[in-house]
A and B are shown apart, each in its own frame.
Chain A
Amino acid sequence: MPQSRSSTPPPDSTPDIVTPGIVHGEEHAASPEGTAPAPPPPAPDSEAGVLARAQAGDHHAFAQLYSLHKRRIYSLCLRMVGNVAEAEDLAQEAFLQLHRKIATFRGDSAFSTWLHRLAINVVLMHLRRKGLSLISLDEAMEPTPEEGPGRSFGAPDLTLAGSIDRLALQRAIDDLPAGYRLIFVLHDIEGYEHNEIAAMLDCSIGNSKSQLHKARLKLRDTLRTFPRQEGRR
């Protein structure tokens, strides 16, 4: 049962707070008698303390967690779907699921990692409901024989290195087909490894590598046709 209510979130907490201390009891050595002492309760104002209160049903603490993680989760959703309205809905759904499941968090990983995965699952379920199929997208994007791998070739004077415009890259990422954008965002922006992506997306590691490569090739094609002067104004 919620312990307190607040319809407005508290002032933003410091966004740089990290959550290494949330793994319950992990850093406490066993006592000389061989029995592990009970870990001391977290400081109420620490993130671990806020998390513990939110897990106990304190709505104000949940609002504090929301403030701490809203940017990261919203940004993740936005990058994955490339659409502001969808990203808002998905971020809301992710936090709603967090509210439902927060009591089940046991500290096997950092809370931020756990929440991140929860949000990714929310987005993936959404994309699957929309009919996203990585395999079909992959096949649809295969180059025709006349395009062939050679289409990737570029005259050396058109090389991008050192001249990638941030705005152009963001636009190009937003314009990627959903399956490509998903893997590119997870790997190149969020830093997941191929084996983690394969497990998340239920595809092979080879498929993940292949999709990432094709996403980068498509970005390269887009960036090479992006007017160079744009974004440099």
Chain B
Amino acid sequence: MTTPSDPKNMTCQEFQALLPELIGTGKDINQHPHIQNCELCRALLADLEAIAQAARDLFPIEEPPEELWSKLDSAIKQEESSEPPAAETAG
């Protein structure tokens, strides 16, 4: 069984293999010893954080087409006209 490398002596490959888990913890990875000493991984982390931040700032609200309601309305009416009278449900 392999033991994890000492964080101070990690290679970039070892550090990047750990990154998904490190990021998932929500801790400040910028304090990780490898990041403090590795410009490339620091740049990578900065990019990933910038992407996540930029995604949060995307305002993902779009207007659906007007005809969506009329399609939905037709589908509801069709469904209601084809189903037997609904039984009362307990609750």
Structural contact, A153 and B44, CB atoms closer than 8 A: yes
| A96 with B75, Cβ < 8 A, contacts A149-B16, A220-B47 known | yes
Instruction: Answer yes or no: A152 CB below 8 A from chain B CBs.
Output: yes
Residues of B within 8 A of A92 (CB): 68, 71-72, 75
Structural contact, B47 and A79, CB atoms closer than 8 A: no
Interface centre among A62, A159, A170 (most CB of B within 10 A): A159
Instruction: Answer yes or no: B60 CB below 8 A from chain A CBs.
Output: yes
Partner of B60, one of A59, A79, A99, A216: A79
- B21 to chain A minimum Cβ distance, whole angstroms, is 6
Q: Which of A29-37, A66-74, A123-131 contacts B (4 or more CB under 8 A)?
A: A66-74
- B86 to chain A minimum Cβ distance, whole angstroms, is 8
Partner of B54, one of A150, A153, A169, A190: A169
Instruction: Answer yes or no: A199 CB below 8 A from chain B CBs.
Output: no
CB-based A-B contact count at 8 angstroms: 136
How many A residues touch the partner, as a band? 35 or more
- B65 to chain A minimum Cβ distance, whole angstroms, is 6
Structural contact, B51 and A216, CB atoms closer than 8 A: yes
Structural contact, B69 and A9, CB atoms closer than 8 A: yes
Residues of A within 8 A of B23 (CB): 209, 212-213
Residues of A within 8 A of B76 (CB): 59, 62, 96, 99
| A7 with B68, Cβ < 8 A, contacts A150-B12, A159-B47 known | no
Structural contact, B60 and A164, CB atoms closer than 8 A: no
Partner of A71, one of B21, B39, B63, B85: B63
How many B residues touch the partner, as a band? 35 or more
Partner of A189, one of B17, B56, B68, B79: B56
- Contact residues of B between 57 and 71, Cβ < 8 Å to A: 57-58, 60-65, 68-71
User: Closest B-chain residue to A219, C-beta based?
Assistant: B51
Instruction: Answer yes or no: A136 CB below 8 A from chain B CBs.
Output: no
A101-136 vs B: 1/0 string, CB under 8 Å? 001101000000000000000000000000000000
Structural contact, B61 and A164, CB atoms closer than 8 A: no
Structural contact, A70 and B58, CB atoms closer than 8 A: no
CA distance A56 to B53 in the complex (A): 42
Partner of B20, one of A9, A63, A209: A209
Structural contact, B13 and A149, CB atoms closer than 8 A: yes
- Contact residues of B between 1 and 58, Cβ < 8 Å to A: 12-13, 16-17, 19-21, 23-24, 39-40, 43-44, 46-52, 54-58
CA distance A205 to B35 in the complex (A): 25
Which A residues contact B (CB, under 8 angstroms)? 1-2, 7-9, 59, 62-63, 66, 70-72, 74-76, 78-79, 88, 91-92, 95-96, 99-100, 103-104, 106, 148-150, 152-156, 158-162, 164, 166, 169-170, 173, 184, 188-191, 194, 205-206, 209-210, 212-213, 216-217, 219-220, 223
